[in-house]
Amino acid sequence: MFQVRQTWISVAFFLIVPALRPLAAQPGSESWKDQGIVDVTRSPHAKLHTIPIRAITIDQGFWAERRKTNLEKSIPTMREVLIANGRMENFRRLSGKSKAAQNGPVYGDAHVYKWLEAASFALQSGDVPELHKATEEIISDVVAVQEPGGYLNTYYVEDRASQRMLPAVQSTGHELYNIGHLLQAGIAYYRATGDRKMLDAATRFFDDFIIKSYGPEPDKKPLVSGHPGTELALIELYRMTGRKQYLDLAGYLLRGDSERMPFPQSRYVYMFCGIPFTSRTQLEGHAVRAMYAASGATDYYLETGDPAYWKTLETLWNDLTKSKMYVTGGVGSRGSGEAFGDPYELPNSRAYGESCAAIGNMMWNWRLLLSTGDARFTDIVERVLYNGLNSGMSLSGTTYCYRNPLEYAPESGPIRNSWYTTNCCPSNIQRIFSALPGYIYGTSGDGVYVHLYQNSQLDWRLENGVGLKLSQHTNYPWDGTVDITVTPALASEFTVYVRIPAWSTTTKVAVNGQAMSGVKSGTYLPIRRRWAAGDKLRIQLDMAPKVLTANPQLADDSGRVAIQRGPLVYCLEQLDQNGVTSLSDVAVVLGRNPGSEFRPELRRDLLGGIVLLRHEGVVTQKKLSEEPLYQLFEPVSQRITRPADLTFIPYYVWANREPSAMQLWVRYIQR
């Protein structure tokens, strides 16, 4: 009851406030070419602004390789797989071009739309005629089936048309989820080409079908997202058009309409929508839904500055980072309901860690970063990107993880597949890799932010209009030295904000050879000075391997450690461990100064080129599986063992050779 009353108070609040101060009545960046991944140019509560993908060129190095695979292998092969699995026939049948029966789940249209978004982001880095043509063909087939009333969906048609938008179908049928993805794809394609046809189709769905008939007004029908994701798309549409009805609709979805649309409490937990977002106190339920809802709520905060939203976002972020996130940045530990678990419920072999949930976590933290400029959010963006998301695509670029466990036995079946009936993850990973240049830098009123380290060329401008080029050279994440040449079009005073990752405990920063003071882990170092063409910035990050321990309440990691070097978390694969028949029998031997005894080894020939880590370990003589379930206590170190030289590889490259057991959290003994 209290929640319902609170809803009406906040409705009243929003009816009054827009009259008192100007909302962003004007659309964002003037040109489609100038719009970033999200365009917060005119968002009143954005501290940082994005830079269009096309302004950053990733030329070589770590992400250049991954992005080349994404563009040349992943995106083209996924198109073929989508077609082979009937996802396009669903559209073509409705235009009379195919006689195939409807095929696939209620969210099958979104599989196509996510691919379109991945392709569109790729085209923002420069035209690829063959991909452009393939994208045009698919867009034509999609928009051809839009009905005169704006409806566009290939599942709720014909015999199922009478079920459209029924309350129960809103909760499970993914109609808004699908169209939210079409809208995101339409925006990305517009920003790639200036072509509006996909954007217009998605907009028509909202204008002609939704907003006319659904909403909080008494003469309209109530609405629930069912699967959040539409909110963030609608707010991006508001940013592009300045039309407040889209922001209002997103706000309505974030508040829910539980009085007119009552669901059992368990359904509100699972859906992470339907009741006021600001009434949430913990992350629970379906992890992807929760992360997309939090992303949309942060977008809503960026536009409105509503303090109740910020308070909830902080509460949820603390819940995430204190007790519900894997060291890989993966989230959603429970297979059942693809859900968040209880605090510290982070099992390793049973970890769900859906690739989409990791992506949602990255998207959410990216938006929190735009709100604040706070490096704690960039640390999570980077942790997810290099680990729990990066693991989701094979090095070949043609197979994908849906789950991303932290421990694995081959007997549990193949972990990477080229296709899933619920094929949400593959193109979701592809769209992030396609959009990656747009995550590297940002601007603020007083300068430029360096968020991520990667060989790249920035050709953009400061917010005062002065042209700015940044040329970044590095072998990151294998090496910690980053050289950036700063070239403003006019020598002028501004601030370069250099991110010092939280994991880098000793970092040196120098400008033209002169050491900077005030360097602090987990912050942006502001370097304000008169910058002139050719100024040299050198950042030396701490690449010493780190040994991590988990909170003792996290029972699954008790007696175990994880290894991290730079942004990369490491793991053991059994096939690299000579003479080891079970990883369960292995322990790493830690000396007085854990971490100091790792031997990094650059291996260009292995797994696409990696730095592996060797370290002293032991194997128990008697297999642990032969020990009884319970026995009299004796210190672990008194087990009879023999030495073993352990080889750790970055987690993201696991499961790229023959099936082999894997372990991220490894038992340890102390010398």
Give the residue with the Cβ less far from Zn ion, 289 or 546: 289
- Say which residues have a Cβ less than 8 Å from residue 471's Cβ, sequence separation at least 6: 457, 458, 484, 485, 487
Give the residue with the Cβ less far from Zn ion, 276 or 341: 341
Per CB under 5 A, which region of 245-253, 262-270, 420-428, 609-617 contacts Zn ion? Answer: 420-428
Give the residue with the Cβ less far from Zn ion, 28 or 353: 353
Give the residue with the Cβ less far from Zn ion, 263 or 364: 364
- Nearest approach in angstroms of CB 654 to Zn ion is 19
Asked if 294 touches Zn ion (CB under 5 A), the answer is no
DSSP character for 367? H
- Nearest approach in angstroms of CB 647 to Zn ion is 31
- Nearest approach in angstroms of CB 31 to Zn ion is 33
Give the residue with the Cβ less far from Zn ion, 306 or 354: 354
Asked if 424 touches Zn ion (CB under 5 A), the answer is yes
Contacts with Zn ion in 366-395 (CB under 5 A)?
A: none
DSSP character for 636? G
- Nearest approach in angstroms of CB 388 to Zn ion is 12
Per CB under 5 A, which region of 47-55, 194-202, 375-383, 417-425 contacts Zn ion? Answer: 417-425
- Nearest approach in angstroms of CB 657 to Zn ion is 24
* Beta strand extents in 257-399 (DSSP E only): none
- Nearest approach in angstroms of CB 421 to Zn ion is 12
Cis peptide bond upstream of 477, omega within 30: yes
- Nearest approach in angstroms of CB 354 to Zn ion is 5
- Nearest approach in angstroms of CB 429 to Zn ion is 9
Per CB under 5 A, which region of 146-154, 347-355, 478-486, 581-589 contacts Zn ion? Answer: 347-355
Residues 120 and 189: their CA atoms lie apart, in Å, by 5
Give the residue with the Cβ less far from Zn ion, 214 or 352: 352
Handedness of CA 430, 434, 440, 441 (dihedral sign): negative
Give the residue with the Cβ less far from Zn ion, 107 or 155: 107
Ranked by CB distance to Zn ion, the top (closest) residue is 356
Asked if 346 touches Zn ion (CB under 5 A), the answer is no
Question: What amino acid is encoded at 150 in this protein?
Answer: G
- Say which residues have a Cβ less than 8 Å from residue 521's Cβ, sequence separation at least 6: 500, 501, 502, 503, 504, 505, 507
Per CB under 5 A, which region of 229-237, 350-358, 616-624, 657-665 contacts Zn ion? Answer: 350-358
| Residues 355 and 402 sit within 8 Å (Cβ to Cβ) | yes
Residues 77 and 134: their CA atoms lie apart, in Å, by 12
Can you give the length of the chain in residues? 671
| Residues 242 and 249 sit within 8 Å (Cβ to Cβ) | no
Percentages helix, strand, coil for the chain, rounded to the nearest 5?
A: 40, 20, 40
Residues 622 and 520: their CA atoms lie apart, in Å, by 47
Count of H helices and E strands in the chain? 17, 23
Residue in the structure block whose two tokens are 């808004």: 176
Residues 137 and 226: their CA atoms lie apart, in Å, by 30
Give the residue with the Cβ less far from Zn ion, 131 or 356: 356
- The two structure tokens encoding residue 83: 């077609």
- Nearest approach in angstroms of CB 154 to Zn ion is 20
- Nearest approach in angstroms of CB 110 to Zn ion is 10
Per CB under 5 A, which region of 204-212, 325-333, 346-354, 600-608 contacts Zn ion? Answer: 346-354
- How many angstroms separate the Cα of 60 from the Cα of each of 123, 474, 515, 653? 18, 9, 28, 19
Binding residue count for Zn ion, defined by CB under 5 A? 4
Residue span 302-341 as binding mask against Zn ion, x where in contact by CB under 5 A, dash where not: ----------------------------------------
Residue in the structure block whose two tokens are 């830690």: 590
Give the residue with the Cβ less far from Zn ion, 35 or 70: 70
Rg (CA), the chain: 25
Per CB under 5 A, which region of 83-91, 129-137, 153-161, 348-356 contacts Zn ion? Answer: 348-356
Give the residue with the Cβ less far from Zn ion, 24 or 331: 331
Per CB under 5 A, which region of 47-55, 104-112, 215-223, 424-432 contacts Zn ion? Answer: 424-432
Give the residue with the Cβ less far from Zn ion, 354 or 556: 354
DSSP sequence for 283-313: --SBHHHHHHHHHHHHHHHHHH--HHHHHHH
For residue 1, with 0-12 CB atoms within 10 Å meaning exposed, 13-18 middle and 19 or more buried, which class applies? exposed
Give the residue with the Cβ less far from Zn ion, 172 or 318: 172
| Residues 485 and 495 sit within 8 Å (Cβ to Cβ) | no
Contacts with Zn ion in 642-661 (CB under 5 A)?
A: none
Per CB under 5 A, which region of 423-431, 509-517, 577-585, 662-670 contacts Zn ion? Answer: 423-431
Which of 78, 139, 356, 610 is the binder for Zn ion (CB under 5 A)? 356
- Cβ neighbours, 10 Å, residue 25: 10
- Nearest approach in angstroms of CB 523 to Zn ion is 33
CA torsion, points 139, 141, 144, 145, in degrees to nearest 10? -110
Give the residue with the Cβ less far from Zn ion, 229 or 480: 229
- Nearest approach in angstroms of CB 288 to Zn ion is 6
Which of 425, 589, 612, 653 is the binder for Zn ion (CB under 5 A)? 425
Per CB under 5 A, which region of 76-84, 353-361, 623-631, 639-647 contacts Zn ion? Answer: 353-361
- How many angstroms separate the Cα of 198 from the Cα of each of 305, 526, 644? 30, 41, 58
Per CB under 5 A, which region of 91-99, 132-140, 351-359, 613-621 contacts Zn ion? Answer: 351-359
Element (H, E) at 186: helix 175-193
- Nearest approach in angstroms of CB 423 to Zn ion is 8
Residues 107 and 522: their CA atoms lie apart, in Å, by 39
Question: What amino acid is encoded at 273 in this protein?
Answer: C
Residues 658 and 159: their CA atoms lie apart, in Å, by 47
DSSP character for 102? P
**Helix, strand or coil for residue 527?**
strand
- Nearest approach in angstroms of CB 106 to Zn ion is 15
Per CB under 5 A, which region of 31-39, 145-153, 421-429, 597-605 contacts Zn ion? Answer: 421-429
- Nearest approach in angstroms of CB 233 to Zn ion is 17
Give the residue with the Cβ less far from Zn ion, 45 or 227: 227
Q: List residues binding Zn ion (CB under 5 A).
A: 354, 356, 424-425
